[in-house]
Amino acid sequence: MKKIGFFDTKPYDRIWFDKLKDKYGFEFKYFESKLNGDTAMMCNGLDGVVAFVNDVIDERTIDVLSGFGIKILALRCAGYNNVDFKAAFGKLHVVRVPAYSPHAVAEHAMALILTLNRKTHRAYMRTRDHNFSINGLTGFDMYGKTVGIIGTGKIGRVFADICKGFGMNVIAYDPFPAKDSGIEYVELEELFRMSDIISLHAPLTKETYHIINKDAIGIMKDGVYLVNTSRGALVDSEALLNAIRDGKVGGACLDVYEEESELFFEDYSNVVIKDDTLARLISMPNVIVTSHQAFLTDEALRNIAETTLENLKEFFDGKGLTNEVCYQCAKYGKCEKKENERCF
Ligand code: NAI
């Protein structure tokens, strides 16, 4: 029976893997800690490893895993910016879950915007305290406003449809526009200039790192809303904080944060957090932070568990790896697969 080690696990994802355990016949070992060069030492005796978004899969981690004879790492997420693919190539096959529910993330993005705009989080707190005043809760009609979407892949396109349902004007920027999507594509600068709301749905790459920075914010409309459910480092958090303080940015919805790996998914309610930028952002009345939970629906969790275990089964059955990523796939979107339909 193959032994699989899961890192950074929480009760809400374990239940879905446990439900499928008998079907796949693997033995599971759950670790609460994140995977990194130190915790990889716990993998001796395992046949495969499952990692998540904030695990550190750098050269050291890869060398430790491959030293234990482990040849398969299954990411139970779509993004893979936390993997050193150059170091992994030839040693560790990396598979991922390319899509589990674009609806979950797109719907969460809209939920955040509606909350920020109509201040339902504040109204909820007030009425619980029998405070029925509506002073300070004024929002704006979403109808007729322009939303700029950066990245129109699976999530960005679902989000575009949701926005169209609200009667919004949808414009988008993507270096690889979706054909026949009916989406109006514009240059990035134009998107910055025209949008009332900007929502990020692109992966973290060299090109998208700090795509929202001081200069970009400078050309945006006064009072623009920024929404990030993609990866934290697309936004220069210091620049965002300054722009919110100056009133240039009217509000921000952040499900991801560039320094999230040490904080998100954990309970620090009894601790003084040392990240002043995040603490100040959270303290702003027009900023809503959720801790990387946009994916968190039953449907997405079930799909993540199924695809992850199917990815592992393909590996152990000696089959081609449908969802493998290597440095070539990651950079160019495809690679010269070997005869056995694996990257190496
Ligand atoms: P996808 O791969 O289907 O689409 C990404 C799109 O971004 C593609 O159309 C691509 O051409 C575009 N893109 C690439 N470089 C770009 C650039 N420089 N500027 C603008 N667009 C660019 O990915 P999907 O499934 O739509 O996911 C998008 C991102 O959402 C993921 O990369 C991941 O980081 C994030 N995500 C966040 C989750 C959460 O819980 N908050 C859950 C799942 C994904």
Judge whether 338 lies within some domain.
Answer: no
- In terms of domains, do 214 and 108 share one? yes
Judge whether 74 lies within some domain.
Answer: yes
- Structure confidence at residue 206 (pLDDT): 93
Cα of 46 to ligand 1 centre, how many Å? 32
In angstroms, rounded to a whole number, what is the distance separating the alpha carbons of residues 74 and 82? Answer: 13
Confidence band for 293, pLDDT divided at 50, 70 and 90: very high
In angstroms, rounded to a whole number, what is the distance separating the alpha carbons of residues 60 and 38? Answer: 9
In angstroms, rounded to a whole number, what is the distance separating the alpha carbons of residues 53 and 69? Answer: 23
Judge whether 337 lies within some domain.
Answer: no
> What residues make up the domain containing 226?
102-289
- Checking if the pLDDT of 209 tops 90, the result is yes
- Checking if the pLDDT of 143 tops 90, the result is yes
What is the DSSP annotation of 128-157? HTT----TT------TT-EEEEE--SHHHH
What is the DSSP annotation of 236-281? -HHHHHHHHHTTSEEEEEES--TTGGGTTTS--TTS----HHHHHH
Atom number, ligand 1, closest to the C-alpha of residue 296: 40
Mean pLDDT of 211-225: 98
Which residue has tokens 């239940």?
Answer: 15
Judge whether 31 lies within some domain.
Answer: yes
In angstroms, rounded to a whole number, what is the distance separating the alpha carbons of residues 331 and 81? Answer: 11
| Ligand 1 mutation target, pool 80, 179, 230, most atoms within 8 A of CB | 230
Judge whether 328 lies within some domain.
Answer: yes
What's the pLDDT tens digit per position in 62-71?
999 999 999 9
* Residue of 96, 108, 231, 306 marked catalytic: 231
Percent of the chain at pLDDT > 70 equals: 100
- Structure confidence at residue 94 (pLDDT): 98
* Contact predicate 236/270, CB 8 Å: no
Confidence band for 216, pLDDT divided at 50, 70 and 90: very high
Judge whether 256 lies within some domain.
Answer: yes
CA-closest residue to ligand 1 atom 23: 153
- Structure confidence at residue 332 (pLDDT): 72
Q: Which two tokens stand for residue 223?
A: 């009072």
CA-closest residue to ligand 1 atom 21: 151
In short, whether 216's Cβ falls inside 6 Å of ligand 1 is no
In short, whether 149's Cβ falls inside 6 Å of ligand 1 is no
Q: What residue type is 344 in one-letter code?
A: F
In angstroms, rounded to a whole number, what is the distance separating the alpha carbons of residues 192 and 64? Answer: 44
- Structure confidence at residue 337 (pLDDT): 87
Split into its structural domains, the chain has a count of 2
Determine the Cα angle at 298 with ends 296 and 299, to 5°. 100
- In terms of domains, do 130 and 81 share one? no
- Structure confidence at residue 79 (pLDDT): 87
Residue 188, Cβ neighbours under 10 Å: how many?
15
In short, whether 207's Cβ falls inside 6 Å of ligand 1 is yes
- Structure confidence at residue 338 (pLDDT): 86
| Ligand 1 mutation target, pool 155, 159, 179, 257, most atoms within 8 A of CB | 155
Judge whether 188 lies within some domain.
Answer: yes
- In terms of domains, do 219 and 114 share one? yes
- Checking if the pLDDT of 331 tops 80, the result is no
Judge whether 147 lies within some domain.
Answer: yes
- In terms of domains, do 108 and 257 share one? yes
In short, whether 148's Cβ falls inside 6 Å of ligand 1 is no
- In terms of domains, do 50 and 122 share one? no
Cα of 245 to ligand 1 centre, how many Å? 28
Residue 111, Cβ neighbours under 10 Å: how many?
16
Tell me, what CATH number does 321's domain have? 3.40.50.720
Cα of 202 to ligand 1 centre, how many Å? 3
In angstroms, rounded to a whole number, what is the distance separating the alpha carbons of residues 229 and 202? Answer: 9
Judge whether 231 counts as a catalytic residue.
yes
Tell the burial category of 288 from Cβ atoms under 10 Å away from its Cβ (0-12, 13-18, 19+): buried
- In terms of domains, do 216 and 166 share one? yes
- In terms of domains, do 94 and 206 share one? no
- Structure confidence at residue 42 (pLDDT): 98
What's the pLDDT tens digit per position in 15-39?
999 999 999 999 999 999 999 999 9
Closest to 163 in 3D by CA, of 116, 106, 231, 220: 106
- Checking if the pLDDT of 290 tops 90, the result is yes
- Checking if the pLDDT of 334 tops 90, the result is no
- In terms of domains, do 148 and 75 share one? no
- In terms of domains, do 162 and 253 share one? yes
- In terms of domains, do 176 and 158 share one? yes
In short, whether 303's Cβ falls inside 6 Å of ligand 1 is no
- In terms of domains, do 156 and 197 share one? yes
Residue 320, Cβ neighbours under 10 Å: how many?
14
In short, whether 332's Cβ falls inside 6 Å of ligand 1 is no
Cα of 152 to ligand 1 centre, how many Å? 7
| Ligand 1 mutation target, pool 75, 174, 289, most atoms within 8 A of CB | 174
- In terms of domains, do 45 and 145 share one? no
Strand (E) or helix (H) holding 88: helix 85-88
What's the pLDDT tens digit per position in 181-206?
899 999 999 999 999 999 999 999 99
In angstroms, rounded to a whole number, what is the distance separating the alpha carbons of residues 183 and 161? Answer: 9
Mean pLDDT of 140-151: 98
Mean pLDDT of 261-285: 94
Confidence band for 253, pLDDT divided at 50, 70 and 90: very high
- Structure confidence at residue 193 (pLDDT): 98
What 3-state class would DSSP assign to 80? Answer: coil
- Checking if the pLDDT of 330 tops 80, the result is no
Cα of 68 to ligand 1 centre, how many Å? 33
